[in-house]
């Protein structure tokens, strides 16, 4: 009996984790304006298009000298993570907190906050 209950508990846990992963994917899809206020001026503003292809999240970044297409992001601990080259390799983390999409960029200057603003179609 205990083995059956333990098995059901583990099954429910794994289903919850898949749902959380799908949740962040669905919430970030679309077009965004992102700003990194603490970055040098030429690296502060980007247009980002986030899409899903074959279960993988792909992001296109455009701004300043950066024009990076199909940057692959993976889900780890409920957060999207990936690396892009913007003058140096930068590790990006994206998550949801209190209904808001937030992010950070791990750079040689330290960890910089990223602000997200959804682009609304006119």
CATH architecture for residues 2-118: Beta Barrel (2.40)
pLDDT at 64: 86
Average confidence (pLDDT) per 10 residues, the chain, 122 residues = 44 45 87 96 94 95 93 95 93 96 96 96 71
Neighbours of 95 (CB within 10 A): 17
Q: What is the pTM of this model?
A: 0.79
pLDDT at 2: 41
**65: nearest Cα among 82, 46, 80, 50:** 46
pLDDT at 21: 56
């Amino acid at each position: 009996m205990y083995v059956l209950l333990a098995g059901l508990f583990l099954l429910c846990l794994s289903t919850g984790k898949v749902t959380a992963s799908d949740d962040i994917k669905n919430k970030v899809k679309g077009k965004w304006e992102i700003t990194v206020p603490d970055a040098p001026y030429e690296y502060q503003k980007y247009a980002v298009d986030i899409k899903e292809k074959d279960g993988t999240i792909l992001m296109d970044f455009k701004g300043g000298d950066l024009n990076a297409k199909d940057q692959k992001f993976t889900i780890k601990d409920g957060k999207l993570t990936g690396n892009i080259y913007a003058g140096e390799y930068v590790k990006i983390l994206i998550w949801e907190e209190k209904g808001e999409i937030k992010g950070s960029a791990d750079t040689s200057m330290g960890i910089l906050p990223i602000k997200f603003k959804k682009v609304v179609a006119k």
